[in-house]
Amino acid sequence: MEMEPILLLCLSLLAHGAETACREARFTGTVLPLMRVQQLVLPPTTHSPPPNRLRFRHDVSLTVPVAVGAPPQNVTMVLDTGSELSWLRCNGSRVPSAPPLQAPAAFNGSASSTYAAAHCSSPECQWRGRDLPVPPFCAGPPSNSCRVSLSYADASSADGILAADTFLLGGAPPVRALFGCVTSYSSATATNSSDSEAATGLLGMNRGSLSFVTQTATLRFAYCIAPGDGPGLLVLGGDGAALAPQLNYTPLIQISRPLPYFDRVAYSVQLEGIRVGAALLPIPKSVLAPDHTGAGQTMVDSGTQFTFLLADAYAPLKGEFLNQTSALLAPLGESEFVFQGAFDACFRASEARVAAASQMLPEVGLVLRGAEVAVGGEKLLYRVPGERRGEGGAEAVWCLTFGNSDMAGMSAYVIGHHHQQNVWVEYDLQNGRVGFAPARCDLATATQRLRARA
């Protein structure tokens, strides 16, 4: 996909702990705002996810604004590098339990002159992929539309028809892409937030045949996730070296033969070690590599909130982190407490105590081949909503933001977007690699140094 607008981006990069000066970079690409928002409430589903996909509860998602159709309809879509087929909630969508204020805006295909439903005789209707456990099938007369049924890692599902329309992202020319026009969906997620923002759909960004990046021939994209609720950036196209010259790249891992537990269209990288502070954990290399079934791959996923490790890697990480933080934080001391079914390294402390201790916590490094994802400070702990301890509820419950994959019923390592905050992450499909660079993602947008030129 050729991106026409010329944009200037000034991004504050952090190299070796020191902030470098911003510089203007001229590149051909499209830039969009990227937001972290609360998920929509939806009822449980009876669909089972594939065996290597995680049942987790998405509290926070990354969303981008997109205009679809002609005339353009403004929608908000979840950015998901772990999913393939994009989808939109279309007119007539059923959300049985969503409060009216939380119901997302629906896309109206009949109001778009460029909208077209895929016919059941089209080649696309015979397509089978990881996100479509039930192959697309013909709805029969009179519509003869191609029906789709999607299921996801968090036990959510969506049903509708396969369709195509034009997508406008930022200042780029419109591109035509297939997507699922969803009329029925359900989810196992839950939240009590009355002001949660809800997305209209999902933008599938993995390497599958029907993903948005594959359909639009996008060879490179990148994002920078700001901490908290601050806006970040999504960049489609352009020269990654011009934007972030200090990127460290790790190659994408590909296994040609089909394996039951290996997702061949995911952004899979090789995890080579884990460190806590200066201590490299004694984890055998075989534990960190996919086995003969494909179990044990490491995926970079913007659609997953936290990071998950298989038990043989999680256990030594938990033990070393508890050991190194024993003088800083008091363990929760409740063996039966497991947050979201996968997080059992938890503590009790006041907000002030955690704020004071956060800069003294040992950094956790995910050592990749040629790169490292370093997690430190506030990104290491998550305050569990609604859980208080101590006299008068003076202490909150905090959990380490690394979960146990085995406890969650999955067989993979996943690097979630919570640990990608303040990191420039580039997906270079042309060269088969993912790049990382520490960054001040809040400054990239807050200082308004991002602007377009004709």
Residues taking part in catalysis: 80, 301
What CA dihedral angle connects 188, 193, 199 and 202, to 10 degrees? -30
Judge whether 101 and 82 are in contact, CB under 8 Å: no
Q: How many Cα neighbours within 13 Å face the side chain of 405? A: 27
Q: How far is the CA of 191 from the CAs of 47, 81, 98, 372, in angstroms?
A: 20, 23, 11, 33
Q: Which H or E element spans position 149?
A: strand 146-151
Tell me the helices (H) and strands (E) count for the chain, helix number first: 5, 32
Q: Which residue has the tokens 């059992």?
A: 344
Residue 221 and residue 364: Cα distance in Å, rounded? 26
CB neighbourhood size of 331 (10 A):
12
Q: How far apart are CA 85 and CA 362, in angstroms?
A: 39
Neighbours of 388 (CB within 10 A): 12
Measure the CA–CA gap between 247 and 438, rounded to whole angstroms.
Answer: 9
d(CA 125, CA 144): 11
For residue 222, what are the contacts with CB-CB under 8 A and spacing of at least 6? Answer: 234, 235, 238, 240, 243, 244, 424, 425, 426, 427, 435
Counting Cα atoms < 13 Å in the Cβ hemisphere of 281 gives: 28
Order across the sheet with 371-375: list the strands: 279-280, 271-276, 364-368, 371-375
DSSP symbols for 233-248: EEEEES-HHHH-TT-E
Helix H or strand E segment including 320: helix 311-324
Give residue 21's Cα distance to chain centre.
29
Element (H, E) at 449: none
Element (DSSP H or E) covering residue 443 = helix 441-446
Length of the chain: 454
Give the dihedral of Cα atoms 363, 447, 383, 316; nearest 10 deg: -20
Q: Which residue has the tokens 């159709």?
A: 69
